[in-house]
Structure 1
């Protein structure tokens, strides 16, 4: 019997040898002292970096520097010795090798303008905000490119809750920079991965900024839909359908903007979406539950100041999709509720009454629902 030769690709390891990144980034500025900014500062200090954390609130910055805890946005997590806290932008950016921009999406441009006079020439900037700007319809990296031109750019995103990162629980993120495909170990994303990565905080590198950013912007809107579904008493079937069809909405928008499907199916897309749609740690999901159960935003978060990015981004996400002629019915339903004043039951009826269609875009098909099907669905609303 003839001997079957093994393919050469199986005869040796397909994993590349570990590379040594050039020019390590030792000093990190974190611009924004909310929960996520504080958690990133803690994690970067654990990775051995010197971290300067900037907060807009001078009184909170002083309390944090002295008490070593962000009692407002991330209580219960002590700042390592390697973190200094500042209220002056100049102090936070001085001698930095990279700056992480960790502010709410709709405040990013104002923050960039405040940074302009203190920003060292050519300092790499890492966008950690998730969203689309209201006025311009730009993604966050595009806002930074416009407000602070001439700086190398990266995007950090992925399925992370701030409290778990601060505790040192295992987490994984995506780091994207355009030079990642061509420069490999010398790319900005790879250098940041080497600077920020730890056994518990694992960065994965890509060159697809658009795909990463779309995933981060849209998943928060979809998480509100998941919360509404839970608040209305829908079960696991509905959540699985919502995550799956929501992922397709992300994919279509990402492709329209030049992103890639493999990014959408990775940490910054499917990973982040499944996390934020499946846990009440997600403020967006909790906000949706509150909407469906009649609770006020103040009650939803125990009186704590929080930013619900899905609420702030429902309109710019769907505005962008409309301009690009991308069909996003779940996001449109969330917009109807949070921005257009449509009652939840009415928005849900409209969503569930849409024609049946093929799952693949390769088949052009729409089937009108029988009236009995609509009547049965309405019994739950």
Structure 2
């Protein structure tokens, strides 16, 4: 593995808000970065003007950042390959990209979801599709709202990898005066925290739109964290992970911020809009909408009770009224916390 002193190179596959912000972080930390954009027009705009006009138009990207629509060109000789595409598109995209990977490249997942059908975490999809060992995959997760980080507002994150040396390499490659990464070896817990918080944020958004108060919102965050931890423990995660940045930190940021796609999407649903109307209004991927299906199925497969996730799925995919979903949550049998 090459270290920062050796001049590492990175490819960021995905030119959305978080991929673009992460490319800026890498460049500010001293890494040369190539962003892959699906559309050549967007790649050309990034090259020509040093900005991403579609997602972060006000953010000036460092000179170390360039862009291409040729994935092979982006990946070739990259020491760090950052995956920042919608989670449900990962398998198909990575199947096309795997042949370009350098033999010891570190793959970094920014994605927060559980694959539909297989119920696999994103790192598991990467290992399976790219044919790499789990030790080569790092997961970055935390309270990482892209617009704030791109604006250089102080934030922290978690770099989780079973290979401590590789986690430290990634940590060094993304440490800047405004971005502070911590390492962790609990990949399972880090990924689950990032996936489930999107679902809880949908519920939080619904509650916000229904003008429910802070008691309700605090209850959703707290009980949402509890069901996340229950699933995590069933899958072998460290319970303490959920008390940290990748658990509570990410959950609070995603629920409370108007910048959160999932909270915003939930607000549309809470106002009585259909899934299609909410999708048309937001125009960005709200990962929790699809992940609530796979997370619900994963919980059922492991006999884990996740009532908030169950109700969010009913609202999103069965047309349930958000108010009735809340009533269903409140009328559950009482029990010890």
**Does the alignment reach a TM-score above 0.5?**
yes
Residue number in structure 1 paired with 2:216: 238
Report whether the alignment pairs 1:278 with 2:278: no
Residue number in structure 1 paired with 2:106: 124
Residue number in structure 1 paired with 2:188: 210
**Separation in structure 1 between the aligned mates of residue 243 and residue 40 of structure 2, nearest angstrom:** 41
- In the TM superposition, what is the alpha-carbon distance from 1:23 to its structure 2 partner? 3.0
- Unaligned runs of 5+ residues in structure 2 are none
SS in 1 for 2:149: helix
Kindly report which structure 2 residues correspond to 1:243-254, keeping only aligned pairs within 5 A, or say none: 243-254=221-232
Given candidates 176, 179, 183, the residue that maps to 2:160 is: 176
Given candidates 132, 146, 153, the residue that maps to 2:137 is: 153
What per-residue deviation string (whole Å, max 9, x for no partner) do you get for residues 311-360 of structure 1?
Answer: 1111001000000000000111100100122222222211111011101x
- In the TM superposition, what is the alpha-carbon distance from 1:177 to its structure 2 partner? 0.6
| Greater CA drift, 253-262 or 147-156 | 147-156
- In the TM superposition, what is the alpha-carbon distance from 1:294 to its structure 2 partner? 3.1
**Separation in structure 2 between the aligned mates of residue 99 and residue 137 of structure 1, nearest angstrom:** 23
Given candidates 47, 50, 53, the residue that maps to 1:68 is: 50
- Unaligned runs of 5+ residues in structure 1 are 1-20, 181-186, 360-381
Residue number in structure 2 paired with 1:28: 10
CA contact (8 A) 2:254 2:263 kept: yes
- In the TM superposition, what is the alpha-carbon distance from 1:56 to its structure 2 partner? 1.1
Bigger radius of gyration:
1
SS in 1 for 2:112: coil
Report whether the alignment pairs 1:94 with 2:76: yes
CA contact (8 A) 2:32 2:65 kept: yes
CA contact (8 A) 1:105 1:129 kept: yes
CA contact (8 A) 2:149 2:179 kept: yes
What per-residue deviation string (whole Å, max 9, x for no partner) do you get for residues 111-161 of structure 1?
Answer: 211212222222110111000000211000000010012251111100011
Q: TM-score, normalised by structure 1?
A: 0.84
CA contact (8 A) 1:29 1:98 kept: yes
**1:148–1:80 distance in 2 versus 1, CA, 3 Å:** same
What per-residue deviation string (whole Å, max 9, x for no partner) do you get for residues 157-213 of structure 1?
Answer: 000110111111101000011022xxxxxx111111011111210000000000000
SS in 1 for 2:58: strand
Q: TM-score, normalised by structure 2?
A: 0.95
Report whether the alignment pairs 1:162 with 2:142: no
**1:329–1:299 distance in 2 versus 1, CA, 3 Å:** closer
- In the TM superposition, what is the alpha-carbon distance from 1:300 to its structure 2 partner? 6.1
**Separation in structure 1 between the aligned mates of residue 189 and residue 93 of structure 2, nearest angstrom:** 24
Report whether the alignment pairs 1:193 with 2:175: no
Structure with greater proportional helix content: 2
| Cα RMSD for the two superposed structures | 1.7
Residue number in structure 2 paired with 1:315: 293
**Separation in structure 1 between the aligned mates of residue 234 and residue 41 of structure 2, nearest angstrom:** 44
Please identify runs of 4+ aligned residues in structure 1 that moved more than 4 A: 295-304
Alignment size in residue pairs: 333
Residue number in structure 1 paired with 2:334: 356
**Separation in structure 2 between the aligned mates of residue 86 and residue 190 of structure 1, nearest angstrom:** 28
- In the TM superposition, what is the alpha-carbon distance from 1:299 to its structure 2 partner? 7.5
